[in-house]
Amino acid sequence: MKIVLVHPPSEPLTHEAIFGLKTPPLGLAYIAAYLEERGFTPDIIDMSVQQMSIEEFGSRLQTTNPDVVGVYCSITRVKQSLQVAQVAKSLGATTILGGPHATLEYETLIRNENVDMIIRGEGEETFVKLAKLIDSQRGLHDLKGIVYKENGKVRTNPEAPLIADLDTLPFPAFHLLPMKSYHICNYISVCTLSSSRGCSRRCKYCIVPDMYQGKWRGKTPNRVVDEMEHLSSVYNPDLLLFFDEFFTEDLKRAESVMEEIRNRDLDMKWACMSTGTNISKELMIKMQKAGCMALFFGVGSEVIASRLTTIDKKDLDEARRAFMNAHQANIFPIANVVFGFPGETRTDYEDILNWVIESDPDHALFFKAVPYSEFEDDKLDRMERLAYKRFYGRKSYVAKHIARSISRAVRSRQFSPDFIRKYTKWYAETLKKVNSFQDLPFT
């Protein structure tokens, strides 16, 4: 059986353009590795990084002639995912959609004539079982985690159980991808991995609870560092980027990961998403000594906006304290901010921007609350560009960030000359790009 996994192109995303971000499709790489481990020989086509048109994809697929085509579907690539499915279906392949949007909107997507099946939630075990059933032409009634069509009717099977032990997952099949094409800050080569899945929080704008049944699971420290060491030795990236939703959910596990890195005397540069802001400065210092260069903190605007008008500012103070601790630990704190929620006003938006600026992270990423927002799309786009201009366009920010970066380079000696050169080049280009945004009103 020939299986092709496809990562379609996405709608243009401002944060990816500003941060020069192109990362390998990690979910598809884990699924491909899981398939390989069980005797299949899948291919992965990353249309996004290869800038492949739908016509070029059709020619590629015609040459490959797969039996099954699995398509990643997120909110920013729904149209493209369905176009891929249409091409695959026209060539006689069975089409399977998966990913966050497919999990959330399976009832709508399964009714598309070019979509045969949908995998909900975690994909590795379900995809392997589904491929075996398709190959043997057996029924799908007992396979949990899928939605499919049978005699013109839609069948929705119960959820599949999550993988109990994430340590059993093989390393991602990055050998199937053009790894030299992936980077952050345009020039800094990057490899991605995950040390955990899920999140215990219930942010209403986040699909993660639906993907992982509201649970968090972590790989053991040994397994995490094994994967870091493997990716570093095989692909030699400038930076390892953890795509966990909540790397520090279990603080004791995070500390054990740091100890394992130090025990092996490994020299790897990495960054991770924290979500929580309750990490102690002591742990941040241990993370920095183990190679951590940046911490992404999730700070949703609904949290900020709901607190700005109340007396209790505990959460906001905690976030500011986390940024300050990261600075003192020689780690770049990065704020991930979601804006544009239902009921949000121009005043709320201004308060959010002011709070982020005053909290003084090194970088900020701003995300539109799509598809929840009541703002029109063009207004959201203007708000997004304005946020970046307001944050990065300040002379005081530029001077402070450069001074802090030089200080870190001198004190911690964690930046190689080549890394500094790449980062500096991207930083100069980004400031020019952000300052070119027109300061258009959106009221």
List the domains of the chain with CATH numbers.
Answer: 3-156 (3.40.50.280), 182-435 (3.80.30.20)
Per-residue model confidence (pLDDT) at position 343: 78
Q: How far is CA 166 from CA 125, 143, 244, 295, 377, in A?
A: 12, 21, 13, 23, 39
Question: pLDDT exceeding 70 applies to what percent of the chain?
Answer: 93
Asked whether residue 187 carries a pLDDT value surpassing 90, the answer given is yes
Cβ atoms of 5 and 43 within 8 Å: the answer is: yes
Please report the sign of the dihedral spanned by the C-alpha atoms of residue 38, residue 42, residue 46, residue 47: negative
Residue 309: pLDDT band with limits 50, 70, 90 = very low
Pairwise pLDDT comparison (218 vs 343), residue with the higher score: 218
Average pLDDT on 261-267 reads 96
Asked whether residue 286 carries a pLDDT value surpassing 70, the answer given is yes
Task: Take residue 312 and report the two structure tokens written for it.
Answer: 């209790």
Pairwise pLDDT comparison (337 vs 287), residue with the higher score: 287
Contacts 24+ apart (CB under 8 A), 38-43: 38/128, 40/1, 40/3, 40/128, 40/131, 41/2, 41/3, 42/3, 42/4, 42/5, 42/173, 42/176, 43/2, 43/3, 43/4, 43/5, 43/176
Residue 117: pLDDT band with limits 50, 70, 90 = very high
Asked whether residue 89 carries a pLDDT value surpassing 60, the answer given is yes
Tell me whether the omega of the peptide bond preceding residue 371 falls within 30 degrees of 0, making it cis: yes
Question: pLDDT exceeding 90 applies to what percent of the chain?
Answer: 70
Q: How far apart (Å, rounded) are the C-alpha atoms in residues 406 and 425?
A: 15
Q: How far is CA 397 from CA 65, 94, 322, 326, 402, in A?
A: 53, 52, 18, 17, 8
Pairwise pLDDT comparison (328 vs 209), residue with the higher score: 328
Asked whether residue 209 carries a pLDDT value surpassing 90, the answer given is no
Average pLDDT on 198-207 reads 73
- DSSP code at position 163: P
Task: Take residue 224 and report the two structure tokens written for it.
Answer: 């995490």
Hunting for tokens 């201009």 — which residue is that? Answer: 389
pLDDT for 408-439, tens place per residue? 888 777 788 999 999 999 999 999 999 888 76
As a three-state string, the secondary structure of 260-314 is HHHHCCCCCCEEEECCCCCCCHHHHHHHHHCCEEEEEEECCHHHHHHHHCCCCCH
Task: Take residue 327 and report the two structure tokens written for it.
Answer: 């600075």
Mean pLDDT score of the chain, rounded to an integer? Answer: 90
pLDDT for 18-49, tens place per residue? 999 999 999 999 999 999 999 999 999 999 99
Query: Which of 172-176, 361-365, 403-407 is predicted least confidently?
Result: 403-407
Per-residue model confidence (pLDDT) at position 373: 65
Please report the sign of the dihedral spanned by the C-alpha atoms of residue 78, residue 83, residue 86, residue 91: negative
Q: How far is CA 83 from the centre of its chain?
A: 23
Query: Which of 57-66, 204-213, 272-281, 387-396 is predicted least confidently?
Result: 204-213
Per-residue model confidence (pLDDT) at position 206: 72
Per-residue model confidence (pLDDT) at position 315: 62
**DSSP 3-state assignment of 321?**
helix
Hunting for tokens 């966050």 — which residue is that? Answer: 100
Please report the sign of the dihedral spanned by the C-alpha atoms of residue 83, residue 87, residue 90, residue 93: negative
Per-residue model confidence (pLDDT) at position 298: 79
Identify the bridge partners of residue 118 per DSSP, sorted by sequence position: 97, 147
Cβ atoms of 6 and 71 within 8 Å: the answer is: yes
Per-residue model confidence (pLDDT) at position 412: 73
Per-residue model confidence (pLDDT) at position 146: 97
Residue 121: pLDDT band with limits 50, 70, 90 = very high
Which are the contacts of 289, defined by CB distance < 8 A and separation ≥ 6?
258, 262
Residue 369: pLDDT band with limits 50, 70, 90 = confident
Per-residue model confidence (pLDDT) at position 291: 95
Per-residue model confidence (pLDDT) at position 197: 93
Residue 338: pLDDT band with limits 50, 70, 90 = confident
